[in-house]
Structures are given as C-alpha cells and as structure tokens.
C-alpha cells in the first residue's frame, strides 16, 4: 500500500497547548496512510519536524501549515468527513464514505458550527469525548481497511519488527551488527545449528572480502542472514525464500540479492523454474554476491572445507553444469583476492 488520497485538516491548533497533539495528528496521518496534513495555524517548527520524519522514515507525506481552512474545505473536490463525538456512528456510515479523495477534519477545542454544515459526513468514533488522535487513527484504519499493515515506507531508516529489543537499518549504512543478525534469526525461528553455520560462513566471507577490497560490512551482514530462508525450507529454494523474508521486513536490495543468489553456484532462470521457483536468474553478479556464495561452499556445518568438496557433491548429484559454474566462480573470486581461498578457509 502507498499513501491514499486522504488529507487531514487540523483545525484550531493552539500554539503551545496543542503542539504535541498536532504533531501526533500529523504522525498518525502519515503512518496510517494519509497523503498529507494541513494545519490552520502557522507552525514552522512542527512542519520541519514532520518533514524530517518523512525524510528519515520514508513515504511521500506532505505537511502544510497556515492554511485558510474555509477556503480549503470549500475547494476540496471529494468527500469531507468531520470527526466529532456528536456525529453519526462510524460503523453506520463508513460503508458510504468514498475511499479516495477524502478530507478528514479534526478539531482541537470546540469547532466552529459551520464545519458541521461544510462536511458531507459528521462521524463519531463512540459518542464519548476523547482524543482527536485516537479518533483519527480508528477512522483511517477503517477507511483504508487496515491497508497500513505491512506497508514498506522504503525510508532511509527501516525498523525491523522483532519481539525483543530494537533492530533498525539505516539504508545509507545498510548493515547490521552480528548480534542484531543473530537476534533476527532467532526471532524468525532459525535453528541453533543454522546460526552456528552462518557465523562460520560470515567469518570466511569477511576474510575473503578483505582480500578483495569488497564491502566488508555488507558481506558480513548478508553472510549472517544468507540462510534465513531455512526457516521455510532446507531445499534449494531457501535462498529465494530468505530473500522474500528480508524483502518483507524492508531490507535493502543489496542484502536481499546476496541472499537470493547464494545457492549452489547460483541458479539460472531455467533451473529456478525447474525447482518450482519464479523463472528468474539467481546468479551472483556483484563481487559481494559472489563472495558470500563462495564462502558458503567453503563451510560445511560450522567447519571449513575445501571447495572441491562441494564441487564433488554437485557432480555426484549429476549437476555437472552447476559444478562447472561454481568452479568458474571460485576461480574468479580467487583471482580478485590474489590468494588461495582454500588456504584462507582451512
């Protein structure tokens, strides 16, 4: 879901007294899918604060203060909904309110009587007095059919939902610590032996990345997460499944693709389709993708092994092409690293 064509009009902001409430109106509007908030009073500090949140956390939300509200409401081409404890019950009218082009008015103190007349719908969220922030949140949830759930704002700061502690990715940095990765793996139900394996792979991958002058922190994070898909399957689809898990959590594509492309020496579109996966190439192309793919083959469980071991295994399964691709990939990374990767790994 992206933003809906919904604007929230905050009426009667009293500087000082309503500062926090109006900020919360703006933040709730943004988080629950509105496109913009307009505020009748002048408030440059609030405008700046909300813009900063959007710059950091994403989306296309806009904020404007000092708006001539009467003119704004009269010119609105769409439905005007006024939230008030005196209105008709939300559950009675929600079905008749259009889903797009909606202006939602919330007050601060007593709103001028003409607001009731200018509105197409005067809507109550219970007939009890409470808060404009709560009324707005519930109304937006119902109007958008909870479309806010699972939305990816694609912001610079991405919060990874976990039950314990905080994990936040700064996309400009793009990386997580080993401890954050471990907590995330546990959160999604990765088994202990998988976590031991990825730790060993990450160690090898980081050594290779250093020799290749690659992005070490990117490699470290992606190596730690490369088997997250094993929570779904231990088959060759675990790379694809892992990438989907990370996409769903809002991870940046540079990490996601390393995970998606680490299986075997990579899967071509035909091979992927034969395995029942989407028909797309999942072959490592960037240096960091290649490094994690190779490092994974240099570790069995949590022990370092020579590359021939994996090549032999592929041949025994009759996967000669895959064996050949892995050999070529290994050679390529070894050439860039200018060192014997087997020695580095054992």
Least spacing, CB of residue 130 vs ligand SAM, in Å? 5
| Ramachandran region, residue 154 (left: φ > 0; alpha: ψ -120 to 50; beta: rest) | left
- Minimum distance from residue 79 beta carbon to ligand SAM (Å): 16
Nearer Cβ to ligand SAM, position 107 or 284? 107
Residue whose C-alpha is closest to residue 260's, from 309, 311, 251:
251
User: Per CB under 6 A, which of residues 181..210 are in contact with ligand SAM?
Assistant: none
Q: How far is the CB of 82 from ligand SAM (least distance, A)?
A: 7
Which residue number, 37 or 272, has a Cβ lying nearer to ligand SAM? 37
Q: Is 144 in the site for ligand SAM (CB under 6 A)?
A: no
Contact residues for 148 (Cβ-Cβ < 8 A; gap 6+)? 1, 31, 32, 33, 140, 141
Residue with tokens 């041949």: 315
Beta-ladder partners of 89 = 124
Residues touching ligand SAM, count (CB under 6 A): 17
Q: Please give the Cα distance from 301 to 1 (Å, whole number).
A: 40
Distance CA 305, CA 73 (A): 70
**Which residues within the stretch 147-166 sit at the binding site for ligand SAM (CB under 6 A)?**
none
Q: Which is nearer to ligand SAM, 112 or 161 (CB)?
A: 112
Nearest approach in angstroms of CB 75 to ligand SAM is 21
Q: Output the smallest distance, CB 145 to ligand SAM, in A.
A: 19
Q: How far is the CB of 51 from ligand SAM (least distance, A)?
A: 24
Share in percent of the chain as helix, strand, coil (round to 5):
50, 15, 35
CA distance 99 to 104: 12
Nearer to ligand SAM, 20 or 154 (CB): 20
Query: Which residue's Cβ lies closest to ligand SAM?
Result: 107
> With contact defined as beta carbons under 8 Å apart, do 46 and 39 qualify?
yes
- Residue 145: CB atoms within 10 Å: 11
CB of 135 or CB of 205, closer to ligand SAM:
135
**CB of 230: closest distance to ligand SAM in angstroms?**
48
Reference 132, options 17, 21, 7; nearest CA is: 21
**Which of 219, 132, 125 is closest to 181 using CA atoms?**
219
Site for ligand SAM in 52-111 (CB under 6 A): 83-86, 106-108, 110-111
Tokens of 113: 């009587």
Cβ nearer to ligand SAM, comparing 11 with 295: 11
Residues in region 117-136 near ligand SAM by CB under 6 A:
124-126, 128-130, 132, 135
CB 292 within 8 A of CB 201: yes
The footprint of ligand SAM (CB under 6 A) covers 83-86, 106-108, 110-111, 124-126, 128-130, 132, 135
């Amino acid at each position: 879901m992206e933003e809906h064509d919904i604007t929230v009009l905050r009426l009667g902001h009293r500087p000082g007294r309503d500062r926090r409430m109006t900020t919360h109106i703006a933040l709730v509007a943004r988080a629950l899918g509105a496109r913009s908030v307009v505020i009748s009073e002048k408030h440059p500090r609030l405008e700046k604060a909300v813009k900063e949140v959007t710059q950091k956390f994403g989306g296309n939300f806009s904020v404007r203060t000092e708006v001539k509200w009467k003119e704004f409401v009269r010119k609105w081409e769409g439905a005007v909904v006024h939230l008030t404890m005196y209105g008709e019950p939300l559950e009675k009218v929600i079905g008749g309110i259009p889903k797009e082009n909606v202006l939602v008015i919330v007050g601060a103190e007593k709103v001028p009587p003409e607001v009731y007349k200018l509105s197409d719908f005067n809507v109550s969220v219970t007939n009890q007095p409470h808060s404009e922030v709560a009324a707005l949140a519930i109304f937006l949830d119902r109007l958008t059919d909870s479309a806010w759930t699972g939305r990816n704002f694609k912001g610079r700061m991405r919060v990874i939902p976990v039950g314990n502690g905080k994990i936040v990715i700064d996309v400009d940095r793009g990386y997580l610590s080993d401890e954050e990765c471990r907590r995330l793996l546990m959160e999604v139900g990765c088994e202990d032996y998988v976590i031991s394996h990825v730790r060993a792979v990450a160690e090898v991958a980081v050594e290779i990345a250093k020799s290749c002058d690659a992005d070490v922190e990117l490699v470290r994070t992606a190596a730690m997460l490369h088997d997250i898909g094993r929570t779904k399957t231990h088959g060759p689809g675990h790379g694809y499944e892992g990438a989907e898990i990370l996409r769903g959590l809002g991870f940046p594509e540079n990490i996601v693709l390393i995970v998606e492309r680490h299986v075997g020496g990579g899967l071509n579109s035909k091979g992927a389709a034969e395995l029942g996966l989407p028909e797309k190439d999942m072959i490592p192309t960037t240096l960091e993708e290649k490094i994690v793919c190779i490092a994974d083959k240099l570790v069995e469980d949590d022990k370092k092994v020579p590359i021939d071991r994996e090549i032999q295994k592929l041949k025994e399964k009759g996967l000669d092409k895959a064996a050949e691709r892995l050999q070529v990939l290994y050679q390529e990374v070894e050439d860039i690293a200018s060192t014997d990767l087997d020695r580095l790994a054992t």
